[in-house]
């Protein structure tokens, strides 16, 4: 049985609108934390004795006896930029994975070369490393992991709109 009613003239009519929106997700938060950590590590000491990444030659990664310019900042600054861009743009998980992986490789190769140097000198490797090295390593791991976590989270909004007919 069908029932038909007439709506009085001028009566408010209620409609509902559903909108899909995107909110900040955990990938963005972890990616931003990793970016900040990597930038902070650039200004910290990486070796005991007051050695900053700006005083470590980039060629040290493949030549233990390297001296001169450019410094390790040639790699660290672009990695921080790529990680930051990947953290702030939607669909930037690939950039976060790439930057995190390359940061881990850079830190790993640096640790290997430094271990070889300290071993040949008879110095303790763990006493040689300083906080900036560890902060960069954690930043690389966080950047890599953030690439597998969603940057945005879908949410649904329902709005009630009353209109006068």
Q: Where are the domains of the chain?
A: 15-151
140 sits in the region (left: phi over 0; alpha: psi -120 to 50; else beta) called alpha
Other CB atoms within a 10 A radius of the CB of residue 42 amount to 19
Whole-number pLDDT of residue 159: 63
Residues in the chain, pLDDT under 70: 1-22, 153-165
Answer for the pair 150, 63: CB distance below 8 angstroms, yes or no.
no
Whole-number pLDDT of residue 132: 93
Cα 160 to Cα 87: distance, rounded to the nearest angstrom: 34
Share of the chain above pLDDT 90, in %: 41
Whole-number pLDDT of residue 146: 92
Whole-number pLDDT of residue 89: 84
* Residue closest to 133 by CA, chosen among 81, 66, 69, 56: 56
Whole-number pLDDT of residue 27: 84
* Residue closest to 162 by CA, chosen among 11, 40, 59: 11
Per-residue pLDDT tens over the stretch 82-125: 999 998 887 888 999 999 999 999 999 999 999 998 888 888 88
pTM of structure: 0.76
User: Using omega within 30 degrees of 0 as the cis cutoff, is the peptide bond preceding 6 cis?
Assistant: no
Angle of the 131-146 helix axis to the 93-121 helix axis, nearest 10: 150
């Amino acid at each position: 049985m069908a029932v038909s009613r007439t709506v009085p003239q001028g009566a408010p009519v209620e409609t509902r609108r559903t909108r899909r929106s995107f909110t900040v997700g955990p990938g963005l938060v972890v990616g931003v934390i990793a970016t900040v950590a990597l930038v902070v590590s650039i200004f910290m000491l990486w070796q005991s004795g007051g050695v900053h990444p700006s005083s470590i030659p980039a060629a040290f990664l493949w030549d233990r006896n390297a001296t001169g310019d450019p410094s390790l900042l040639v790699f660290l600054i672009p990695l921080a930029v790529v990680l930051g861009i990947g953290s702030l743009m939607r669909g930037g998980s690939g950039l976060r994975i790439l930057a995190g992986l390359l940061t881990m490789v850079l830190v790993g190769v640096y640790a290997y070369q430094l271990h070889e140097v300290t071993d040949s000198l008879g110095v303790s490797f763990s006493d040689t490393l300083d906080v900036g090295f560890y902060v960069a390593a954690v930043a690389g791991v966080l950047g890599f992991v953030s690439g597998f976590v969603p940057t945005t989270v879908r949410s649904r909004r329902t709005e009630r709109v009353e209109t006068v007919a």
